[in-house]
Amino acid sequence: MMYNLSPLGDQAVVIEVDTEISQLAKKNVKSIVACLNAANPPWMIEYIPAYTTVTISYAVELDSCETPYDFVCSEINQLLANVKEVSNSHREIVRIPVLYGGEHGPDLDFVAAHNGLTTEEVITIHTSGEYTVHMIGFAPGFPFIGGMSEKIAAPRRETPRLEIPARTVGIAGMQTGVYPIASPGGWQLIGRTPIELFLPTEDPPSLLTAGDRIRFYEITPEQYKEMRGDVE
Amino acid sequence: MITVMKSGLQDTIQDTGRKGYQKFGVVVSGAMDPFSHRVANLLVGNEGQEATLEMTLVGPRLLFEKDVVISICGGDLQPKIAGVPVPMWKPVFIRKGSELAFGAAVAGSRAYLAVAGGIDVPVVMNSRSTYVKAKIGGFHGRALQTGDLLSIANPTGVSAAIKQRLGTNEEAFRAADWLIAAKLLPNLSNRYVIRVMRGRQYDLFDGQSQNGFWNEPFTVSSLSDRMGYRINGPALKLKEQTEMISETVTYGSIQVPTDGNPIILAADRQTTGGYPKIGQISSINFTKLAQAKAGDQLTFNEVTIIESQKLMAMQEMNLKELRAYISTKFR
């Protein structure tokens, strides 16, 4: 496997497997993650996978005059010399219910008009795709999702909203995503899911993990209410 | 028990941060000034990673309902009991019924209050740190409010010995007659020289921007908080516009959005970012960053990762010595 090592400050190192997003990069990131999970080296605090990189934060105290960075790099080189390729195992599909339009999806009409479609057509296209979670980042449990049809792509809003409610489903450019917690943002909002993506009291605290496959399906306001239970 | 008689501007409970969950997008948080947080803990006989109270710019008024040993480190928020200044950077015995009042910052911007045993709040994902945006950790996931009651965890034997040594039935408080070595105390001012390593995308910036970055001062903007500091100075431009692939960022990453005004990421930073990073602040200078306030000037001096890690190793040694000194002195 080809990769580059470079420091991210004095407490982390970045393993970069490619300079652009590719299937091979995705596979190599996965293989490195599997290798780190298996080895769990004592100097590793945690690792964070992204599109083309895996970053490892570390803490190491040395008696020798070797620097922690050099030590960690040579450890990583040893580990990755024996890295096994992970097959593209078929994870189960996570199905995410969405109540489209209305107060929860104020920009559904815009996305439809922008693409010369009806709102029903936007929903049909959004629910018929199979998506991949490339990475979790930006906010707790926030999935970077790839695989949306360009037929429903829409530019970000010129002025971001100051607060987007938790669990809102949006579109920005060619991406679709779900906001796990309330945050400001410029995405076009098309609906809302009743299920939580960020689960602070569970382990793992995120519904989704990098590599997951997902599908969206449409629900009615009644189903939405029922799925929320007593919460609202 | 500690009662918050009046809350400060932003009092949050912090420890060394929420580690191990960044792969799920969970923000690390933790003390903005990890050095002051740790020293405050060591001075009261704690291990170092216990939860302390981080106070920003204007501190709270706190009523102690039990005899307790505390220490206050970091920025000077004018701590007083009954109008009498309470010394910082040393252990202080506080008699029950005393009210500790903080004022506005006169040097630096963040102070840390450690109590023997540590502030006891539930552990969420391995940490007691507050992350206000996701409402997790700390005291009910939020900054303290007037009327809140804080519990204190059980102190160590060292803490008990300090308490016995300093305890008094006369004054409202009594401070130890020693403090930490002067070489350990941070120099707080309005101008900071900060050690910076080249960022992962340093080479993408044009020569003029690279020169400006090292040679001209930047001013901390008022748009600065636990998530990040916006700083104003020479505009930083890329040789050519490129879309970067999102990757992990960390405390001290200096990223540059398209408008050319850098953002220094801090404790509550998001886990990943898509802007190019021109530099990375050396961990040894997180204290300076945490203590800088709006209007303060920052100048960046280049260091290598080797120098940076050597400085950290030296600081680690000093803190270990401090800990050893305290546990031998009090047992």
| B323 within a domain of the structure (yes/no) | no
What's the average model confidence in pLDDT over A178-205? 91
CATH code for the domain in which residue B233 is found? 2.40.100.10
Residue A86 has pLDDT above 70, yes or no: yes
pLDDT at B168: 85
The Cα of A54 is separated from the nearest Cα of chain B by a number of Å equal to 8
| A72 within a domain of the structure (yes/no) | yes
**Interface residue of B38, B132, B248 to substitute, partner A, most A CBs within 10 Å:** B248
The Cα of A196 is separated from the nearest Cα of chain B by a number of Å equal to 13
Listed range (B56-65, B102-111, B233-242) with the worst mean pLDDT: B233-242
CATH code for the domain in which residue A58 is found? 3.30.1360.40
> B228 and B90: one domain?
no
Read off the pLDDT band of A230 (50, 70, 90): low
> A52 and A159: one domain?
no
- B 113-172 → A contacts, CB under 8 A: 124-125, 133-136
What's the average model confidence in pLDDT over B93-122? 97
> B217 and B75: one domain?
no
Task: Report CA dihedral (A112, A105, A98, A161) to the nearest 10 degrees.
Answer: 120
Listed range (A116-130, A148-162, B221-235, B266-280) with the worst mean pLDDT: A148-162
What's the average model confidence in pLDDT over B201-210? 97
pLDDT at A198: 93
CA B210/CA B33 separation, integer angstroms = 28
Read off the pLDDT band of A231 (50, 70, 90): low
The domain boundary, picked from A81, A103, A134, lies at A81
| A219 within a domain of the structure (yes/no) | yes
Structure tokens at A73: 């790099």
From the list B33, B304, B273, the residue with the least C-alpha distance to A7 is B304
CATH code for the domain in which residue A115 is found? 2.40.100.10
| A149 within a domain of the structure (yes/no) | yes
DSSP bridge partners of A154 = A173
Encode B200-234: b = buried (16+ Cβ within 10 Å), e = exposed.
Answer: bbbebbeeebbebbeeebbebeeebebbbbbbebb
Work out the percent of chain B whose per-residue pLDDT is above 90.
Answer: 92
> A97 and A169: one domain?
yes
> A23 and A112: one domain?
no
The domain boundary, picked from B184, B214, B238, lies at B184
Read off the pLDDT band of B105 (50, 70, 90): very high
> B202 and B145: one domain?
no
Residue A22 has pLDDT above 90, yes or no: no
Of A53, A181, A206, the CB nearest to B24: A206
The mean of the pLDDT values for chain A is: 92
Residue A84 has pLDDT above 90, yes or no: no
> A52 and A106: one domain?
no
- The structural domain count of chain B equals 2
**How close are the terminal C-alpha atoms of chain B, in Å?**
25
| A86 within a domain of the structure (yes/no) | no
Q: Cis (ω within 30 of 0) for the bond into A204? A: yes
| B330 within a domain of the structure (yes/no) | no
Q: Which residue of A has its CA nearest to B308?
A: A10
- For residue A76, give the 3-state DSSP assignment: helix
Residue A225 has pLDDT above 90, yes or no: yes
> A127 and A211: one domain?
yes
Residue B326 has pLDDT above 70, yes or no: yes
Work out the percent of chain B whose per-residue pLDDT is above 70.
Answer: 100
From the list A160, A155, A184, the residue with the least C-alpha distance to A172 is A155
> B234 and B167: one domain?
no
> A131 and A224: one domain?
yes
Is there a contact between B25 and A141 if contact means CB atoms under 8 Å apart? yes
What's the average model confidence in pLDDT over B223-229? 94
> A36 and A111: one domain?
no
The domain boundary, picked from A49, A81, A113, lies at A81
> B150 and B72: one domain?
yes
Helix (H) or strand (E) holding B282: none
> B32 and B178: one domain?
yes
> A123 and A201: one domain?
yes
Residue A181 has pLDDT above 80, yes or no: yes
| A88 within a domain of the structure (yes/no) | no
Cβ contacts below 8 Å, chain A against chain B, sum to 138
> B36 and B70: one domain?
yes
pLDDT at A90: 63
- Domain span including residue A138: 93-231
The domain boundary, picked from B184, B209, B225, lies at B184
Residue B104 has pLDDT above 90, yes or no: yes
Whether A71 and chain B come into contact, CB under 8 Å, resolves to: no
Residue B311 has pLDDT above 90, yes or no: yes
| B327 within a domain of the structure (yes/no) | no
The mean of the pLDDT values for chain B is: 95
> B216 and B165: one domain?
no
Work out the percent of chain A whose per-residue pLDDT is above 70.
Answer: 97
Is there a contact between B23 and A14 if contact means CB atoms under 8 Å apart? no
> B110 and B201: one domain?
no
> A46 and A105: one domain?
no
pLDDT at B274: 84
- A 123-182 → B contacts, CB under 8 A: 135-142, 144, 180-181
> B16 and B142: one domain?
yes
**How close are the terminal C-alpha atoms of chain A, in Å?**
50
Confidence check on the interface: ipTM exceeds 0.85, yes or no: yes
- Domain span including residue B9: 2-184
Please, are residues A105 and A20 in contact by the beta-carbon 8 Å criterion? no
pLDDT at A184: 81
Q: Between residues B214 and B182, which one has the greater pLDDT?
A: B214
| A128 within a domain of the structure (yes/no) | yes
> A19 and A44: one domain?
yes
Is there a contact between A52 and B245 if contact means CB atoms under 8 Å apart? yes
Q: What ranges make up the beta strands (E) of chain A?
A: 4-7, 12-16, 44-49, 53-58, 93-100, 131-136, 143-146, 161-164, 168-172, 175-178, 183-185, 188-192, 213-218
> B164 and B34: one domain?
yes
| A67 within a domain of the structure (yes/no) | yes
> A45 and A111: one domain?
no
Is there a contact between B252 and A20 if contact means CB atoms under 8 Å apart? no
Residue A232 has pLDDT above 60, yes or no: no
Read off the pLDDT band of A165 (50, 70, 90): very high
The domain boundary, picked from B162, B184, B206, lies at B184
Residue A211 has pLDDT above 90, yes or no: no
The domain boundary, picked from A46, A81, A116, lies at A81
From the list A154, A151, A144, the residue with the least C-alpha distance to A180 is A144
- The structural domain count of chain A equals 2
> B20 and B123: one domain?
yes
Please, are residues B115 and B154 in contact by the beta-carbon 8 Å criterion? no
CA A7/CA A140 separation, integer angstroms = 24
> A122 and A202: one domain?
yes
